[in-house]
Amino acid sequence: MSTSDHLLGDDLRYVFKYLNSFMLLMWRLGLGPWLNSWPEGFGQIMVISHKGRKTNIKRYTPVNYAIVDEIIYCTAGFGPKSDWYRNIIANPEVEVWFCRGFFKREEWWAGIADVVSDPDLRLPLLRKVIIASGFASRLAGLNPYKMTQEEFAHATEKYQLLRIKLTKALTGQGGPGELSWIWPNLSVTLLFYILLLRLLRKKKIT
């Protein structure tokens, strides 16, 4: 890898760090399906929950994904050095927040993750995930629609493809939309503020 490639990789990691914080907040506010409103542009985005390999603390990472035959596939585009990928390798029991299309309801599942290493399976499945990555694939310099198999294989050589088999649907606290209570409270606050302003204006006029 050249110095310029290394700097580009660092810049992308920096950009995605802040994008991921925004995407996670959107999912917590119950707006996850909105992130999937334009898969070709924004990409299909889910949240994967995993435990820190050293701390055992639950972590959350937004990633692009594709669903094939009821199995979820995602990729670590920065390779095996990604912290979230290393966490999953150490502890493959994960949770995922996702939806099956624009404005479909949010789903929360437990699952078991493993690495797809079979080259005959890896490349076609990885291409599906990259297609579902929207603008992120363009930022990484990939065009999954036009690249030949050889070009795609070379460009994604360090990508790690993960397969997540869903095991149990989850409900309760700690899932997608956990901060959705903010919306009714915010609406009531805004309504009160508007009514108060109108009342003050009427008093001022009289």
Q: How far is CA 136 from CA 42, 79, 141, in A?
A: 8, 15, 9
Residue 27 lies in a domain: yes
Q: What percent of the chain has pLDDT over 70?
A: 88
> Can you name the residues that pair with 108 across neighbouring β-strands?
97
Rounded Cα distance between 89 and 3, Å, is 29
Q: What is the mean pLDDT of residues 171-187?
A: 82
- Give me the pLDDT at residue 19, please: 85
Question: Domain limits at 171?
Answer: 3-177
Structure tokens at 189: 């606050």
Selected residue with higher pLDDT from 68 and 42: 68
Q: pLDDT category, 206, cuts 50, 70, 90?
A: low
**What pLDDT, on a 0 to 100 scale, did the predictor assign at position 11?**
66
| Residue 63 resides in a domain | yes
Question: How far is the C-alpha of 42 from the C-alpha of 31, rounded, in Å?
Answer: 14
- The answer on pLDDT for 173 being more than 60 is yes
Tell me, yes or no, whether 186 lies in a domain: no
Q: Would you state the torsion angle of the CA atoms of residues 93, 45, 107, 156, taken in this order, to the nearest 10 degrees? A: -40
Asked, for residue 191, whether it belongs to a domain, the answer is no
201 within some domain: no
Is 187 domain-assigned? no
Do 125 and 68 meet the contact criterion of CB atoms below 8 Å apart? yes
pLDDT of 6: 36
In a domain, 199, yes or no: no
**What CATH number should be reported for the domain holding residue 140?**
2.30.110.10
pLDDT at residue 94 above 90? yes
Asked if residue 206 belongs to a domain, the reply is: no
> Does 2 score more than 80 pLDDT?
no
Q: What number is the average pLDDT over the span 123-149?
A: 93
pLDDT in tens, 153-169: 999 999 999 999 999 99
Confidence of residue 175 (pLDDT cuts 50, 70, 90): very high
Per the structure, the count of domains in the chain is 1
